């Protein structure tokens, strides 16, 4: 609870002037009032601060977990500018059978339009970031850029066979987004994969058919040579990708 409404404090200032207080008294009173206003402001700020989540029982854990899943889903689609207060009020109104500000049939087209716009903005942002990253990266020492736009850097040079499109290859790899987020790694799993040399994304297929057994390369793959507008799992649409791949064997 607030100790004094701010309105009362302002009225006190006018009352002090009306009673003809001395300048010294007014200065003292003003200093005290400023101190009280500062304290009230701090108290209001603290009341507005979000509380720490309480997950002390199974019901609260499930509630928090559902929130995590919902938020992760919409955030992955670019909807990270939602108004949290309106979202929580809508959930409360539905679960507590309160009158709705928007009926279900009104909500679907509104949400679809919002999500389409958000997804489009996120895709354009990812495209721009990928282009800027690759433009800068191609100027780094040791980087080779092919006609398709694929970039690679040789880390370890092998001397074995080069695969054809019909060969199977055994490879180790680690895949990351350009911000360094790792999304997959056979190295971390401790088990290489065996697959057709032409069965990966376009950037991989091109690189493998330039490599020799024993080679280890860094690949920098433009989005159009990766998963493009689809994305895949933890890979968002239009993401440029970074892979470290080791060609262990041509089968």
In a domain, residue 194? The reply is: yes
Q: What is the structure's pLDDT at 52?
A: 75
Cα separation, 150 vs 226, whole angstroms: 10
What pLDDT, in 10s, does the model give residues 28-49? 777 777 777 777 777 666 656 5
In a domain, residue 4? The reply is: yes
Beta carbons of 148 and 210 less than 8 angstroms apart: no
Vertex 208, ends 226 and 180: CA angle to 5°?
45
In a domain, residue 88? The reply is: no
In a domain, residue 54? The reply is: no
Q: What is the structure's pLDDT at 46?
A: 61
What pLDDT, in 10s, does the model give residues 175-223? 999 999 999 999 999 999 999 999 999 999 999 999 999 999 999 999 9
**Is the entire prediction scored with pTM above 0.85?**
no
Question: Could you tell me the CATH number of the domain that includes residue 195?
Answer: 3.10.50.40
Q: What is the structure's pLDDT at 113?
A: 92
**Which residue has 């400023």 as its token pair?**
34
Beta carbons of 110 and 117 less than 8 angstroms apart: no
Domain extent, residue 158, equals 141-250
Query: Does 8 have pLDDT greater than 60?
Result: no
Cα separation, 103 vs 97, whole angstroms: 12
Cα separation, 187 vs 185, whole angstroms: 5
Cα separation, 149 vs 219, whole angstroms: 11
Q: Into how many domains does the chain fold?
A: 2
What pLDDT, in 10s, does the model give residues 67-87? 888 888 887 777 778 888 898
Beta carbons of 217 and 174 less than 8 angstroms apart: no
What pLDDT, in 10s, does the model give residues 100-159? 999 999 999 999 998 888 888 888 999 999 999 999 999 999 999 999 999 999 999 999
Beta carbons of 216 and 246 less than 8 angstroms apart: yes
Q: What is the structure's pLDDT at 124?
A: 92
In a domain, residue 94? The reply is: no
Vertex 70, ends 67 and 73: CA angle to 5°?
145
Cα separation, 107 vs 115, whole angstroms: 12
In a domain, residue 81? The reply is: no
């Amino acid at each position: 609870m607030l100790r004094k409404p701010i309105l009362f404090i302002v009225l006190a200032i006018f009352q002090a002037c009306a009673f003809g207080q001395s300048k010294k008294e007014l200065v003292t009173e003003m200093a005290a009032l400023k101190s009280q206003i500062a304290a009230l402001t701090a108290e209001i700020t603290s009341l507005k601060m979000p509380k720490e989540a309480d997950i002390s029982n199974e019901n609260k854990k499930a509630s928090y977990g559902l929130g995590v899943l919902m938020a992760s889903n919409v955030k992955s689609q670019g909807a990270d500018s939602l108004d949290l207060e309106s979202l929580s009020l809508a959930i409360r109104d539905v679960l507590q059978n309160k009158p709705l500000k928007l009926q279900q049939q009104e909500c679907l087209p509104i949400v679809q339009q919002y999500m389409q716009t958000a997804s489009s903005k996120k895709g354009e942002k990812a495209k721009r970031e990928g282009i800027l990253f690759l433009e800068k990266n191609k100027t780094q020492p040791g980087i080779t850029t092919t006609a398709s736009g694929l970039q690679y850097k040789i880390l370890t040079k092998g001397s074995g066979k080069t695969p054809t499109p019909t060969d199977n290859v055994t490879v180790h790899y680690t895949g990351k987004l350009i911000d360094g987020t790792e999304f997959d790694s056979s190295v971390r799993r401790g088990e290489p994969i065996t697959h057709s040399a032409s069965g990966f994304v376009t950037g991989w297929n091109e690189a493998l058919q330039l490599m020799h057994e024993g080679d280890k390369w860094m690949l920098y793959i433009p989005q159009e040579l990766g998963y493009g507008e689809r994305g895949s799992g933890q890979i968002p649409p239009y993401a440029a990708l970074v892979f470290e791949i080791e060609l262990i064997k041509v089968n």
